[in-house]
């Protein structure tokens, strides 16, 4: 990846340094312009069916002295896009339109390896090299004032005794599971998220979720023993939400006499405040606190601060370690920057999302490892796969008297709103990052950078935070110009051999960004 990017950088510099025009020179000599015999020319003839007639514009006579004509042509430069080589780790959440609605070339140029559509789509097939991950929803029933049951109401109490619904119904699930063997299934989406006044997710009390998980997990495994099952995601891995997860874990152990069987651990990461009745992520279902994380309340740019997201990932991996789950993969079925730019004008533009969140997340996920809490089968990386939100959520609504976009992060415009259908600027940034990466599969493929031991919290031997051992790169905003990321590795005459027999990865010592003067496409 490094060699390809450095080579690409030098190629761009050389091309831009060349003359940006082509000259076509036509010489015509009259008999008097040379000594000796004149050059013979064919006589004009009437056009035939196989000859072109005279062009419909005035002809310039070249008789007499020699004449030179210059034709200036534009030099059009386009990046080379890798096609047909999906990256197993990189995924996206489909939100509004079917993936097939977008140009195949545009989709494949982003090299998605997997996707979710927040449902169980019986007709879903591997789409342009992307693996489909279905999702089964569980939701606790609530009691409306008129005595009827509902799955959404932000002020209604739960039905007692507590009960839940499953979608699709459990009776329909086995046939679908058996027809699509070997899939990864997620049970629930943001299960701790309480309903709010305009929407909701899969709200369910932690003890009831343990029961629902067992029922759905057992149904899937009976229909397909090769299927993998992931827990329902939480909005984040804050202390309050880890309390919710702890209650799920304890309830399952108490009810079934064994640890909760999870093949793949699943999480969402969004940097939002936790406050009862206020905006943000709310307080997890079943918890009595009124205030949790205070992200974004003082500084809204917290929402695009990846260091805060990484801290949560580290803490979740610590939780996994403490519960005997270190040897399991960790995936993110949704993460990204949710604040649109109007929330703080000028602070959530595509270049800022790229430089403060998107690119740092890719760099960390691919290269940062930790021997104390990472996944050993993946070179001790902390995150194995990730889903960016979103492919195309450019939905809009009325906010504070203006018709504005609800979320940030969409890589495509649907064409339903103000922008035409196609890649957004953020989508182009994604494309630029992934186009030079080597083809990925279920096995690790990115060079891993072993990090020093993490600092431990007081009274604990477990690491709590990790930062790459790399000098921080100055963030450069290239605006409309093309940005090129340069990674500098420590040179060594001979790479040491690790205990596994593989060559040790080179050590990253510096990162920089340069801007090229021609506009990005």
Q: For residue 334, which phi and psi values (nearest 5 degrees)?
A: -175, 130
How high is the pLDDT of residue 123? 78
pTM, 2 dp: 0.73
Question: Smallest Cα–Cα separation from 139: which of 209, 74, 197?
Answer: 209
How high is the pLDDT of residue 92? 98
What is the rounded distance in angstroms from the CA atom of residue 339 to the CA atom of residue 305?
Answer: 12
Number of helices (H), then strands (E), in the chain? 9, 20
- Count CB-CB contacts under 10 A for residue 51: 8
Three-point CA angle 264, 435, 5, nearest 5°: 115
What is the rounded distance in angstroms from the CA atom of residue 375 to the CA atom of residue 383?
Answer: 8
Q: Give the bridge partners for 334, in sequence order.
A: 268
Domain locations along the chain? 87-472
Tokens of 110: 């982003």
**Rounded to whole angstroms, what are the CA distances from 35 to 41, 61, 379?**
17, 21, 79
Q: Which residues are within 8 A (CB) of 224 and not within 5 positions of it... i.e. 6 or more apart?
A: 177, 178, 180, 181, 182, 183
DSSP string, 452-471: PPPB--TT--S--B---SSP
Q: Give the bridge partners for 422, in sequence order.
A: 413
- Count CB-CB contacts under 10 A for residue 302: 19
Local structure of 375: helix, strand or coil: strand
DSSP string, 1-19: -HHHHHHHHHHHHHHHHS-
Q: Give the bridge partners for 350, in sequence order.
A: none
- Assigned CATH class of 87-472: alpha beta
- Count CB-CB contacts under 10 A for residue 334: 23
Walk along the chain (521 residues) in steps of 10 and give the mean pLDDT of each run.
51 48 35 33 33 31 38 44 75 95 95 96 82 97 98 97 98 95 97 96 98 98 97 98 98 98 98 97 98 98 98 98 97 98 97 98 96 96 98 94 95 96 98 88 43 34 33 51 56 36 43 60 45
What is the rounded distance in angstroms from the CA atom of residue 465 to the CA atom of residue 469?
Answer: 12
Local structure of 449: helix, strand or coil: strand
Local structure of 215: helix, strand or coil: helix
How high is the pLDDT of residue 127? 78
Residue pointed to by tokens 């992934």:
434
Do the Cβ atoms of 424 and 520 come closer than 8 Å? no
């Amino acid at each position: 990846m490094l060699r390809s990017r450095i080579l690409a950088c030098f190629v761009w510099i050389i091309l831009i340094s060349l003359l940006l025009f082509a000259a076509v020179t036509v010489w015509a000599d009259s008999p008097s312009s040379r000594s000796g015999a004149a050059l013979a020319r064919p006589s004009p003839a009437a056009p035939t069916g196989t000859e072109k007639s005279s062009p419909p514009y005035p002809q310039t006579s070249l008789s007499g002295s020699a004449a030179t004509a210059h034709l200036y042509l534009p030099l059009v430069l386009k990046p080379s896009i890798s096609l047909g080589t999906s990256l197993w780790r990189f995924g996206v959440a489909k939100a509004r339109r079917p993936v097939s609605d977008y140009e195949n070339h545009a989709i494949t140029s982003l090299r998605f390896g997997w996707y979710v559509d927040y449902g169980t789509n019986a007709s879903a097939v591997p789409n342009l090299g992307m693996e489909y991950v279905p999702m089964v929803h569980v939701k606790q029933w609530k009691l409306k004032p008129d005595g009827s049951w509902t799955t959404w109401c932000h002020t209604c109490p739960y039905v007692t005794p507590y009960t839940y619904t499953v979608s699709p119904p459990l009776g329909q699930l086995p046939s679908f599971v058996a027809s699509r063997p070997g899939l990864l299934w997620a049970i629930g989406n943001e299960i701790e998220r309480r309903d709010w006044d305009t929407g909701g997710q899969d709200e369910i009390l932690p003890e009831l979720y343990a029961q629902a998980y067992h029922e759905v997990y057992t149904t899937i495994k009976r229909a397909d023993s090769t299927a993998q099952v992931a827990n329902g995601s939480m909005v984040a891995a804050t202390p309050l939400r880890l309390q919710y997860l702890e209650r799920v874990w304890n309830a399952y152990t108490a009810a079934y006499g064994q640890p909760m069987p999870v093949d793949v651990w699943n999480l969402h990461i969004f940097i939002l405040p936790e406050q009862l009745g206020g905006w943000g992520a709310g307080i997890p279902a079943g918890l009595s606190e009124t205030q949790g994380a205070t992200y974004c309340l003082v500084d809204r740019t917290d929402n695009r601060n990846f260091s805060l997201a990484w801290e949560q990932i580290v803490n979740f991996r610590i939780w996994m370690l403490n519960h005997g789950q270190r040897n399991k993969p960790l995936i993110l079925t949704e993460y990204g920057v949710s604040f649109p730019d109007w929330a703080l004008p000028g602070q959530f533009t595509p270049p800022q999302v790229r430089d403060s969140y998107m690119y740092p997340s890719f760099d960390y996920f691919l290269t940062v490892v930790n021997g104390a809490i990472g996944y050993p089968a993946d070179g001790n990386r902390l995150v194995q796969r990730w889903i960016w939100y979103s492919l195309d959520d450019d939905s809009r609504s009325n906010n504070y008297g203006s018709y504005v976009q609800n979320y940030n992060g969409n890589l495509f415009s649907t064409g339903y709103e103000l922008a035409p259908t196609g890649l957004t600027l953020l989508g182009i940034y994604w494309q630029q990052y992934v186009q030079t990466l080597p083809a990925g599969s279920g096995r690790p493929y990115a060079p891993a950078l072993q990090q020093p031991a993490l600092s431990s919290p007081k009274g604990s031997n477990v690491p709590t935070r990790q930062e790459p051992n790399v000098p921080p790169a100055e963030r450069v905003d290239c605006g409309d110009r093309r940005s090129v990321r340069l990674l500098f590795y420590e040179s060594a005459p001979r790479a040491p051999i690790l205990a596994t027999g593989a060559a040790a990865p080179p050590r990253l010592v510096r990162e920089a960004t340069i801007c090229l003067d021609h506009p990005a496409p």
